Structure 1
Amino acid sequence: AIIGLLVNTLSVFSVKELPEGELVDTTDKKEIEQDEKYNLVQAAKLLAGNKYYMMICVTYILQQIYGAMISMGTYYATYILGNQNLFGVFSWAINIPLIIALVFTPTLVAKWNGMYKLNVMSYTLATISRALVAVAGYMGSGNVTLMLLFTAIAALGQGPWQGDMNAAIAACSEYTWLTKHKRVDGTMYSCTSLGVKLGGGLGTAITGWLLAASHFDSALTVQPDSCINMLKIMYLVIPFALDAIITFILSRMKVEEANEKLRAAV
């Protein structure tokens, strides 16, 4: 809850909302009212036609699946590292760097003149770090010290996007306004929350399927090799793969640049 509050608060300071007068001619009240009217089908078309919004939706879903895989750390710590309490340590290694990153996100956004470069560079760092977490995890029974170190660096790299993704949604809404002259702010945020719920459901289902396929049995003190191998894939390999995909998506999310070009053309 605290992290969520920080994310939403910092997002406000990460973006400057332009007045409508700088986007289009808003002197005609009838035109304004017409621009704000649309039905459900039109809203769906507007959202589907905004490629940047679709990128964010996919990213949200991937992040939820990522979270579900990271939650498998409790099983990883118990059956592979042999100490369930280590999961709490890994959680701190994620949350503390994330909070630190959130604090500095607004400053970094301002310094780098926008979100794009910061998000791509920071998530690239996160991807490399998650790869190194996997390498450390496959060292014998797992090099806990290195795993903790690279887990913390990965969380630090994921922080800026966590802090400015709501601002990115606002930029996507602006893109729809500039291209279609329709305000879909509320609908866009609501559909994004649906993406979070969809991703959360998928993440929970996928982890359950993978555990079942690996013959996990909670009644066993020692899990079969098939389960141990699957836990390594779920906690070490899949999070890295998801970070890599998200980094690629963020590298294509040049919504700020697109908005600048559209405003200049007005």
Structure 2
Amino acid sequence: MSRKPLGKDKDGIQKVMRFGDYLGDAAGQFTLNAISGLVGQLTYFYTDKVGLAAGAVGTAFLIVKLIDAFTDLIMGYIVDHTKPGKERYRPWLLKMSVPAAVMIVLLFTVPANVSSTMQMVYMFITNFLLTAVIYTALCIPYASLMVVRTASQQERGNMGTWRAGAGYVSGMIIAVAIIPITNMLGGDQTAWIKFSAVLAVVAVICLLITWKTSKETNPVMEAENKPGAQDEALPFKEAITNLFHNKYWVMVLIMGLAVNITYGLANSAGTYYAKWIYGNDNLVGIQGAIGMIPTILGFILVGPMIKKLGVTKTLKVSFFIGMAGNALRLLNPYNFVYNTVLGCFGTFANIPMMCLLGVLTAMTIDYNEYKFNNRMLASSQAACGFGSKVGNGLGASLVAWCLAIASYNPEAAVASAAVKQAVFTFNIYVPLILFTVLFILSIKFDLEKKLPQIHAEIAQRKDQAK
């Protein structure tokens, strides 16, 4: 039985997304954010549960992420060169589902009865395989689905909101539950393995749901899976050169990196703050639970904010709120209630960018078509993949390096003055700087108001080419 056709959006573009489509699409983001969230917790796991040196952990993370930076571009090139007549994006979700689950568990099965050098090697290999290989092979195709799924900016915005909501749920499960649950299970390495095993099963199910419900169709553009309908596959060097000549793509690349460093810090840093500043690492669960309030408000308000202010102005407002919240924390960084309340402002400030990074990237893809006559869709998504993986990794590395400089000792009875300053650095100072950078970039990003004219010129070119 055929379903009743949907109407058109406010721009007159045919809508194609229903409730089940949004839900199925968002399930994929649950897995991606679960992986990012676990990577964010690894610094604490490696230093306080396995016993590795903080400086060595931070350096290993950096090396993985430097390599990882190139795998996004390579994956984009591979996807963009898929043979005509085949689906480019959806099949990768099926191919990588089981490997992702296996590697999620292997992250925490660091051998106990071997040297610290061998443990570091194991840590490096498992992190590389999960983030640089498997996560990349999932993230780039998944991010591209937003563009080939619908031509409606309204539906893309809705997809971004649904994805952000699903991603936040998985992130909050980890942020709020992983410490109390693993402590309840014994607080040792085995407890973390049990937690990761359950999450791995859920991750596979979510990826399979997204694979099953996704479609590579766009009623306005030519079908992506028909021979002769795809963009011409550009040589790798030419595609990368074009991307870096798209100033808006570069800005989104930097914004994605900066905002994901804040996510990485949030995942890694809060436990140290609760343990050494407040004196109880279980308080991180209470903070996470309270953080649900601004999160829910953020998801409720982001739609009206976008409708009233537009995408770019919504981001300006949110980044300013993030700056103000972190600046005020400097006045009294020791008070639990004061900092928890102000932390809610930072949480709220992150929600719009969670929802809109994919939308910003889609705008830059339209600009690629306008400037280069080629969307370079999968290659362009490297901005999201690079920012997510490298940003989260750098956030975790910053935590480890700050602790190493402060001569961190996880067995100490109380935190030294240097350790306290290190904790303040990656919980307050660095986020303040990052929100300032994001605010400045949002002021410079003027592509949104140019899009109507750009779309009109692209349509005119296509009409002339017929």
**Structure 2: gaps spanning 5 or more residues:** 1-25, 34-142, 147-154, 161-217, 461-466
Q: Within 2, Cα distance between the matches of 1:150 and 1:262?
A: 41
1:127 aligns with 323
Aligned equivalent of 1:175: 367
- Please report how far the alpha carbon of residue 153 of structure 1 lies from its aligned counterpart in structure 2 after TM superposition: 2.1
Matched letter for residue 81 of structure 1? Y
Q: What residue is the counterpart of 1:55 in the other structure?
A: 251
Tell me the SS of whatever aligns to 1:222.
coil
- Indicate conservation of the 8 Å contact 1:93/1:151, yes or no: no
**Residues 140-178 of structure 1, C-alpha deviations (whole Å, 9 max, x = no match):** xx1222211111122222211211111111111111111
Quote how far apart the aligned CAs of 1:130 are. Answer: 1.7
**Which of these residues, 408, 411, 427, is aligned with residue 235 of structure 1?**
427
Partner of 1:66: 262
- Please say if residues 249 and 383 of structure 2, whose CA atoms lie closer than 8 Å, have aligned partners that are also in contact: no
Residue 290 of structure 2 is aligned to residue 98 of structure 1: no
Deviates further, 256-265 or 116-125: 256-265
Distance 1:237 1:18 in 2: 47
Could you tell me which amino acid in structure 1 is paired with residue 290 of structure 2?
A: A
Which of 326, 335, 349 lines up with 1:143 in the alignment?
335
- In structure 1, how many angstroms separate the alpha carbons of the residues matched to 2:278 and 2:221? 56
Identity across aligned pairs (percent)?
Answer: 20
TM-score (structure 2 length as normaliser): 0.49
Q: How many residues align?
A: 250
Q: Deviations over 1:80-132 (max 9, x none)?
A: 111222212222333442243123323321222x2011111121112111211
Code of the residue aligned with 1:51 in structure 2: it is K
Tell me which residue corresponds to 2:442. Answer: 250
Match of 1:89 in 2: 286
> Greater CA radius of gyration, 1 or 2?
2
Aligned pair in 2 of structure 1 residues 2, 240: CA closer, same or farther (>3 Å)?
farther
| In structure 1, distance between residues paired with 2:303 and 2:319 | 16
Which residue of the partner structure matches residue 39 of structure 1? Answer: 235
- Residue 216 of structure 1 pairs with residue 372 of structure 2: no
Q: How many angstroms does 1:69 deviate by? A: 2.6
Say whether residues 1:197 and 2:342 are aligned partners: no
Q: Given the two structures, how large is their TM-score scaled by the length of structure 1? A: 0.82
CA RMSD of aligned residues (A): 2.9
- Taking structure 1 as reference, are residues 111 and 262 closer, same or farther at Cα in structure 2, changes over 3 Å only? same
Q: CA deviation at 1:263?
A: 4.2
Amino acid at match of 1:108: M
Q: CA deviation at 1:260?
A: 3.3
Q: Distance in 1 between matches of 2:421 and 2:245?
A: 41
1:158 aligns with 2:350: yes
Paired amino acid for 1:121: V
Q: Does the 8 A contact of 1:215 with 1:224 survive in 2?
A: no
User: Which one has more relative contact order, counting CA pairs under 8 Å at least 6 apart?
Assistant: 1
**Counterparts of 2:238 and 2:297, CA distance in 1:** 41
Match of 1:107 among 300, 304, 318: 304
